[in-house]
Amino acid sequence: MAAGAPLTDAQWTAAVHDRLREVVPGLVPGHPAVAAIHRIAEDVWRLDLSDGGRVVAKHQLQGLLTRGEPHDLVRLEVEVLRHLRRRGSPVPAAFGADPESQTILLEYVGPRTLAEVLPGETDRCVRRRWLARVWSGIGCIEWALSGGEWEGRVAPGASRQDLERSWERAGEDAVRVLRALVLSDGAAASSAEGLLRRLHRRLARFPACLGPTDYQPGNIVVDAGGVRLTFLELSKIGWDWTPRRAVQYTSIADAEGPAETCLLDPGSLAGCGLDEGSRSCLDGHHLIYHLLLAGRWRRDGAGALPPPLARKLIEPLSADPLTVELRRRLGANHTLSFQDRPRER
């Protein structure tokens, strides 16, 4: 794929296929040939091999921009995945990379992501199992990346200082959403705002951990039996809090309709094995995340909040007094919609 005139889509596809057929036998154990190539996502292909096996090829579109840097997207992902696998983390095996095409070859771990299977799964035992494995998987990855050796490989924008700044912005955004909710009177709004600021400050005091930066349910693959969960997208690492990663790995946000779905609910948490401290942190991050989601809904002009989203604003996930009181006040005062306040003159 040498530089030159821009390729058409068909030419690009043909070039990718030719390159994969050339390099894959040298990277995969046993040197099998590529029998068939199937596109499964943007810049991601499933390769059927001549020995009956399957692998995944992922093209790193921005890889050339980071080549040679400590956070080199292609090199870092291969090294991080191999490091995590050696320490028992639930990630795919990395067979290797082709630097010329900026493509990584990964173990094929399943046909569907958590984002695809979660909306239709109502079995409480399955949901509990998935939640427990998401939580333990995040913890395993964070533990394997602790110790200091990976701190110099953090992606730009994902440092501790960046986390502090982004969390401050998130807190102010959440406060603005709270103000916009229909509340009974100004005093109630002011009191609720004070509670939210206390919660926001408290969550910021917990230690952040080095780990993935792209945490969403589309980056967890569920195997065909619905048992094994595998984490994808480790080309960037950075700092964040375990509970916030867990909330976003288990939440599907659909700003176009009422399809917002979250694995975190009282039933799934019951018997999941989390201690009350972990549950209270999850509860706080869950509330702020859904306030921000409600704000996005408002900015899109979608009108009344859909009942699933409204329920997640008021349904407590722990016995933490601060979060319980905040949710109680939201439930007592909002009408599942936003009030358009007059512009200041």
Task: Quickly count: other Cβ atoms within 10 Å of residue 186's Cβ.
Answer: 9
Question: Would you state the pLDDT for residue 183?
Answer: 60
Contacts of 149-154 with C-beta under 8 Å, sequence gap 24+, read 150/80, 150/210, 150/237, 151/210, 152/70, 153/70, 153/71, 153/76, 153/80, 153/237, 154/71, 154/210, 154/237, 154/238, 154/239
The phi-psi region of residue 41 (left if phi > 0; otherwise alpha if psi is between -120 and 50; otherwise beta) is: beta
Q: 131-157 pLDDT, tens per residue? A: 999 999 999 999 999 988 899 999 999
Exposure b/e, 226-261, CB count within 10 A at least 16 = b: eeebbbbbbbbbbbbbbbbbbbbbbbbbeeeeeebb
pLDDT at 123: 85
SS3 34: strand
Domain boundaries 112-333, corresponding CATH code: 3.90.1200
Average pLDDT over residues 81-99: 95
Model pLDDT, residue 4: 59
- Average pLDDT (313-319) is 92
Mean pLDDT confidence for 332-344: 49
**Spatial contact of 195 and 329, defined as CB atoms under 8 Å apart:** yes
The answer to whether 221 and 112 have CB atoms below 8 angstroms apart is yes
Q: Which CATH class is domain 16-107?
A: alpha beta
Question: What's the CA gap between 53 and 327, in Å, rounded?
Answer: 50
Query: Domain segments of the chain: what residues?
Result: 16-107, 112-333
Phi-psi map region of 239: left, alpha, beta (phi>0 left; psi -120 to 50 alpha)? beta
Scanning 205-336, the segments in alpha helix (DSSP H) are 242-249, 266-269, 276-299, 307-314, 321-333
Tens of pLDDT, residue by residue over 6-53, are 778 788 888 889 999 999 999 999 999 999 999 998 889 999 999 999
State residue 341's pLDDT score.
41
The whole-number pLDDT of residue 47 equals: 97
Of residues 61 and 184, more confidently modeled:
61
Please tell me the number of Cα atoms within 13 Å of 139 on its side-chain side: 9
Out of 177-191, 205-219, 305-319, which region has the weakest mean confidence (pLDDT)? 177-191
| Confidence check: pLDDT of 322 > 70 | yes
List pLDDT tens digits, range 151-185. Answer: 999 999 999 999 999 999 999 999 988 887 756 55
Whether the full predicted model's pTM is greater than 0.85, yes or no, is: yes
Between CA 138 and CA 257 the distance in angstroms is 29
